[in-house]
Amino acid sequence: MISFLLCLAILIGGYFVYGKIVDNTFGPDDRETPAVRINDGVDYVVMPQWKLFLVQLLNIAGLGPIFGALQGALWGPVVFLWITFGTIFAGGVHDYFSGMMSERNDGGSIAEITGKYLGPVMQNVMRVFSVVLLIMVGTVFAVGPAGLIVTLCKNNGMSGVLATTLFWLIIILVYYFIATFISIDAVIGKIYPIFGICLIIMAVGVIFGIFTNPAYTIPEIWEHFGSMHPSGTPIWSFMFITVACGAISGFHSTQSPLMARCMKSEKQGHFVFYGAMVCEGIIALIWAAAGCSLYEITGGLNTGLAAALAEGQSAAIYDVCSKTMGGVGIALAMIGVVVCPITSGDTAFRSARLTLADWFKIDQDSYANRLKLCIPVLGVGAFLGIGNALGFINYTVIWRYFSWTNQTLAMIVLWAASMYLFQEKKNYWITAVPATFMSAVSATYFILAPECLGSLLNSKTAEGATIYNTAVAYPVGVIFAIAMLAIFLHATKKRTAKNA
């Protein structure tokens, strides 16, 4: 428990100390923000700071810091270190600069921002990449909650159309269309703060339940510093990919521009962007602690947690909440596993619309222009979702690539932020160091993961356990990271010489 409390204190302190260093490095000023200058009553709308924070938190969080943290807890309390220091030095930096660079560029989407600082080739890659990723996220966060609602209906004796996935999927997609089409403060700005508070209350309830029940003990990092993963999966770099939203996640960079278009002052960035990421890190730390403390450890391995997760991530959330909070926890768990994914899905589709609008230079202040983008974006999502519900489309395999692409996106955004800081003659190492680190993470995972090159390079034991080819993956990861840093430094020298 001591190591958990230390990590919690470091996270909170990180917001006030390192977060302020990041803020001062960027240098917010009193210039007129896009929300004030462009204000179109749809996407550019001034909202109060407390609402910006809660909407941003739910945009970037949803169930991400819960699912990822529980999966990360399979490695044991060592995951606390990644959540803590990843949030402070990587995730908070990534979210802050993705939001504030958008703020300085008329609230532009991350694809346009990346293109401005890394060139037109990367801009086009990021445009396609972002739209595909966002539609994929939105679709999965429609199908998943629909299935959960059906399960709840059947468990309560309901039948007929109310107990079909297709019915609830259509309902969710209709909501997505409304939330994507109308003003951001009409639906998202009103209901997101409520569910953001629910997400925080759920985390507080979980840790309170652990502290007040003598049967639960949070293990110490120094007593279990090695891997406790039952499958023997290496900590590097699987844990760093698995725990994404609770430490650093590229998906956040697609969401930050939504709030960059709603800020009254640049000086709100520290609280809204860096602060929301620290809050998400705290939520992830709590759920990782729950995963490490509530379940049986056999032979130094988290076998009990593995068994709970085998029943499904939503079932594991339900189990944690019921064990720590009883009936109230069950109610909060139901809100969490159904509502939180939906609130990530609607902003994913909204971000896809805005990315396309920036790409094709289509103003979004008229109903007709918004329909031109809402209909195809939601149409593709509906086709994939309904096709999956009817059984003739299976994108499960494609979705397995999300973890890697998510962290690769974070890597690219950090390199773009580094170039921005270089051009502004500011300390670019604050972003270049985590960018280099995430380059190593992304490359190593690509070599090791079964869904990537691991299927060719890894081997199996006679019992069927995977032997990971770390002898190849680890050096490749380091070499790739060094190469990316060298390319960046070479680019800065070329620009310096060009401007001389």
How many Cβ atoms from other residues are within 10 Å of residue 30's Cβ?
8
Residue 143 has pLDDT above 70, yes or no: yes
Instruction: Pick the range with the lowest mean pLDDT from 177-181, 397-401, 486-490.
Output: 397-401
Q: Where are the alpha helices (DSSP H) in 156-229?
A: 165-181, 188-212
DSSP state of 162: G
Least confident of 2-16, 154-168, 277-291: 154-168
* C-alpha to C-alpha distance for 147 and 168, rounded to whole angstroms: 8
CB 248 within 8 A of CB 410: yes
Does residue 495 register a pLDDT over 90?
A: no
Kindly state the average pLDDT of the residues 358-364. 92
Q: Are 197 and 54 in contact (CB under 8 A)?
A: yes
Which value, in Å, is the radius of gyration of the alpha carbons in the chain? 22
The Cβ of residue 100 has, within 10 Å, a number of other Cβ atoms equal to 26
Task: Show the tokens assigned to 68.
Answer: 């990822």
- The helix-helix angle for 275-293 and 2-16 (nearest 10°) equals 170
Residue 469 token pair: 């080819």
Q: Quick one: tokens of 266? A: 């640049």
Evaluate the CA torsion angle 113, 128, 56, 377 in order and state its sign: positive
- Planar angle of CA 106, 109, 110, nearest 5 degrees: 120
Lowest-pLDDT choice from 81-85, 160-164, 170-174, 303-307: 160-164
Bridge partner residues of 467 (DSSP): 459
Tell me how far the alpha carbon of residue 424 is from its chain's centroid: 28
- 48's CB contacts (< 8 A; 6+ apart) are none
What residues form DSSP beta bridges with 301? 298
| CB-count exposure of residue 251 (10 Å: 0-12, 13-18, 19+) | buried
The packing angle between helices 251-260 and 92-104, to 10°, is 40
Termini Cα distance of the chain: 56
Distance CA 374, CA 369 (A): 9
**pLDDT surpassing 70 at residue 208:** yes
In whole angstroms, how far apart are CA 480 and each of 321, 437, 445? 42, 10, 12
Question: Is the confidence at residue 63, as pLDDT, over 80?
Answer: no
Whether the full predicted model's pTM is greater than 0.75, yes or no, is: yes
Mean pLDDT rounded to a whole number for the chain: 91
Q: CB atoms < 10 A from the CB of 36, how many?
A: 13
Q: What is the pLDDT of residues 441-494, one digit of tens each?
A: 999 999 999 888 888 899 888 878 889 999 999 999 999 999 999 999 999 998
Q: What is the pLDDT of residue 393?
A: 65
**Percentage above 90 pLDDT, the chain:** 63
Of the candidate ranges 281-290, 334-343, 433-442, 465-474, the one whose mean pLDDT is the lowest = 334-343
Domains annotated on the chain, with CATH: 2-402 (1.10.4160)
Residue 249 pLDDT exceeds 70: yes
Q: CA angle, corner 131, sides to 400 and 489, nearest 5?
A: 85
ω before 237 within 30° of 0 (cis)? yes
CA distance 224 to 261: 45
CB burial readout 402-418, b (16+ within 10 A) else e: ebbbbbbbbbbbbbbbb
Please state, in angstroms and rounded to a whole number, the distance separating the CA atoms of residues 228 and 310. 17
The region that residue 464 occupies, defined by phi over 0 for left and psi between -120 and 50 for alpha, beta otherwise, is left
d(CA 142, CA 137): 9
Could you tell me which of 80, 103, 34 has the C-alpha nearest to residue 364? 34
pLDDT of residue 387: 83
Is the pLDDT reported for residue 339 higher than 90? Answer: no
Tokens 């396309």 sit on residue: 356
Contacts of range 458-467, beta carbons closer than 8 Å, 24 or more positions apart:
465/231, 465/232, 466/231, 466/232, 466/233
Amino acid in the structure at residue 70 = L
Residue 500 has pLDDT above 90, yes or no: no
Tell which wins on pLDDT, 28 or 122.
28
Question: CA quadruple 496, 101, 131, 388: dihedral positive or negative?
Answer: positive
